[in-house]
């Protein structure tokens, strides 16, 4: 596959995906995913929490693309953690999506000690055990995590039979979590970036604007290209057709090593969420 990354189980996925967070069920998400597929995106990311799985599935079905050419990701939500609950949530997701299997199934957030005390570790372990079961039954092509910090993964691996293949984290200029990314890479876990464009402050950054002028690209395209060249899989989201197209147009140029380092070293800004150890939802 052109422009792909091979996961630790040999499964190849595209180097850029399309996100659907806050894309409402119905015409909104259907039209956005349809546009993305028409522009060439093949990695589509949703979650049960987004409450738009039916619309995502309908758009994939209406595209007439072969099912195996679309790499579909969804996630188990926090209130469905645990072995039996996760298996039930998975069945609900594939029913809404209208598919027989999921390409990538993720745990949306780790259970943490702030909320669950010493039970957090066993909750994550039992949830992961459910994902392993789904993987062994060939109901998913790859399994992974979202928002897991290194210590969460270390704890998980104490009882896991199968190594996670993906960890999806917030990653963008001004909030490049290289410590987590490098940990994952060292452990053969691919890194996906949610919110790869950051907030509006990221796109308005003067350094990114200067680089956009230099490469005759937009600040958003600079962000995405920077992530790809850092070995990160960005998952940008937009409901605007022109921006959906723009975000995919990042394969005809390369940033210089100097410019990558320049972006790497931007001062911290644009973080959109609390640490996974601090969330209480």
Q: Rounded to whole angstroms, how far apart are CA atoms 218 and 202?
A: 12
Is 50 an annotated catalytic residue? yes
- In order, the DSSP letters of 171-203 are -BTTB--HHHHHHHHHTT-EEEEESTT-SHHHH
Tell me the C-alpha distance between 148 and 109, whole Å: 7
**Residue 76 phi, psi (nearest 5):** -85, 130
Q: Which is the catalytic residue, given 21, 41, 50, 83? A: 50
Helix, strand, coil fractions of the chain, as percent rounded to 5: 45, 15, 40
Q: From residue 111, how far is each of 10, 73, 80, 149 by CA, in Å?
A: 28, 20, 11, 11
Sequence-distant (≥ 6) Cβ neighbours of residue 3 within 8 angstroms: 14, 15, 16, 251
Q: Active-site positions? A: 50
């Amino acid at each position: 596959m052109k422009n792909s990354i091979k996961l630790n189980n040999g499964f190849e996925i595209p180097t850029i995906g399309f996100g659907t967070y806050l894309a409402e069920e119905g015409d909104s998400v259907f039209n956005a995913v349809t546009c993305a597929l028409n522009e060439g995106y093949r990695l589509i990311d949703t979650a049960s929490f987004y409450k738009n799985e039916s619309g995502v599935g309908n758009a994939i079905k209406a595209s007439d693309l072969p099912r195996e050419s679309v790499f579909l990701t969804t996630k188990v939500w926090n209130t469905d953690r645990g072995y039996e609950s996760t298996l039930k949530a998975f069945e609900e997701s594939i029913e809404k999506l209208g598919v027989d299997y999921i390409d990538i199934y993720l745990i949306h957030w780790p259970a943490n000690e702030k909320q669950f005390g010493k039970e957090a570790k066993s909750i994550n372990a039992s949830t992961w055990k459910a994902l392993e079961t789904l993987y062994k039954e060939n109901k998913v092509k790859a399994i992974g995590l979202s928002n897991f910090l290194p210590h969460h993964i270390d704890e998980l691996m104490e009882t896991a039979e199968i190594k996670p293949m993906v960890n999806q984290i917030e990653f963008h200029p001004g909030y490049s979590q290289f410590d987590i990314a490098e940990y994952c890479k060292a452990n053969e876990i691919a890194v996906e970036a949610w919110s790869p464009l950051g907030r509006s402050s990221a796109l308005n950054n003067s350094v990114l604007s200067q680089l956009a002028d230099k490469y005759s690209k937009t600040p958003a395209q600079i962000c995405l290209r920077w992530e790809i060249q850092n070995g990160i899989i960005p998952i940008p989201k937009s409901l605007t057709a022109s921006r959906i197209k723009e975000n995919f147009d990042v394969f005809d140029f390369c940033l210089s090593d100097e410019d990558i380092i320049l972006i790497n070293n931007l001062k911290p800004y644009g973080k959109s969420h609390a640490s996974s150890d601090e969330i209480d939802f």
